[in-house]
Amino acid sequence: MQVILRNPLADPYILGVSGGASVAALLAMLAGIASIGVSLSAFFGALLSTLLVFGIAHGAGSWSPMKVLLTGVVLASGWGALISLILAISPDQGLRSMLYWLMGDFSYSSSYGWASLALLVGIATSCYLARPLNLLLHGSVQAASLGVSVEKVYLIIFIIASFLTAVSVSMAGNIGFVGLIVPHLVRLSIGSDHRTLLPASLLLGGTLMVIADLLARTLFSPQQLPVGVITALLGVPLFLFILYRGQRKF
């Protein structure tokens, strides 16, 4: 997403993709649908949010990265309002678990088999997209002149981003800052070659989530904190540090 939009702030959380998945998953929970139904609902919610962002940003003409980012931010705010409405009309007995799930919670995660399969699909797709993404770093015109089917790559990225976001949201809730911070940390360490950036981001992101979950379970034990609170507390100063370092280099 950051390559396509040529913006370091682009990630599924800020673009509203996570919000769309969360709204659809909460509606499925409210309707009493089983776990696999929640996952499917999250996927279609994420896909719908992606289509809305790029459809509205496109309008009658061509879309620009700034239009997409602004549309995503506004749409994310709209999803947030719908989430508040769903929580307001939800029965009291399920409200606490829904709130914890929204802020990120691994306590109810189970059945990792299908999530592992989704991870393998994501890895395979990332390896396939590594070279086109490297070329897209220089712009879509240059990439097209070097043989990249730009529209095809965009379509695959939109679908796989929605798919992986939906899996993540249905497993652990709406956790922010991971997709925003981790790629920047990896770029600072090993560079921007997507053949190493994507698998390294996978490993570092997983490591960050394990550390955040450990802190959430132990800081105020026996009370457990939502994982999303820990990632936000870690992510905000890290992002400010990356921004400060980038400004100094500039």
CA 46, CA 186: separation in Å to the nearest integer?
26
pLDDT of residue 51: 84
Q: What is the pLDDT of residue 81?
A: 92
What does the H/E/C string look like for 200-239? HHHHHHHHHHHHHHHHHHHCCCCCCCCHHHHHHHHHHHHH
pLDDT score recorded for residue 25:
83
Residue 19 Cα distances to 72, 166, 174, 243, angstroms? 10, 10, 7, 25
d(CA 149, CA 132): 8
Q: Which amino acid is at 79?
A: W
107: its two tokens: 């306590």
Task: Look up residue 26 and give its amino acid.
Answer: L
> Helix (H, G, I), strand (E, B), or coil: what is residue 47?
helix
pLDDT at site 196: 92
b/e for 93-114, b at 16 or more Cβ within 10 A?
A: eeeeebebbbbbbbeeeeeeee
Backbone CA torsion sign across 99, 103, 104, 107: negative
Q: CA triplet 181, 183, 189: central angle to 5 degrees?
A: 105
pLDDT score at 233: 85
- Give the C-alpha distances (Å, rounded to integers) separating 227 from 41, 172, 175, 178, 211: 22, 9, 7, 11, 10
- Tell me the pLDDT of the chain (250 aa) as tens digits: 888 887 777 888 778 888 888 898 888 888 877 667 777 788 888 888 888 888 887 775 666 777 888 888 899 899 989 998 988 888 877 777 777 777 777 766 666 777 788 888 888 998 889 999 999 888 888 888 888 888 888 888 888 887 888 778 777 777 878 888 888 889 888 888 999 999 999 999 989 988 988 888 888 888 888 888 888 888 888 878 877 766 555 4
CATH code of the domain occupying 1-170: 1.10.3470.10
Which residue bears the tokens 């802020």? 103
What span, in angstroms and rounded, lies between the C-alpha atoms of 147 and 132? 9
Cα gap 17→43, rounded to integer Å: 10
**Boundaries of every domain in the chain:** 1-170, 175-250
> What is the amino acid identity at position 109?
S
Q: Which letter does DSSP use for residue 15 in this model?
A: T
Q: How far apart are CA 8 and CA 231, in angstroms?
A: 18
* Other beta carbons within 10 Å of 182: 23
Give the separation between CA 249 and CA 74, rounded to whole angstroms: 31
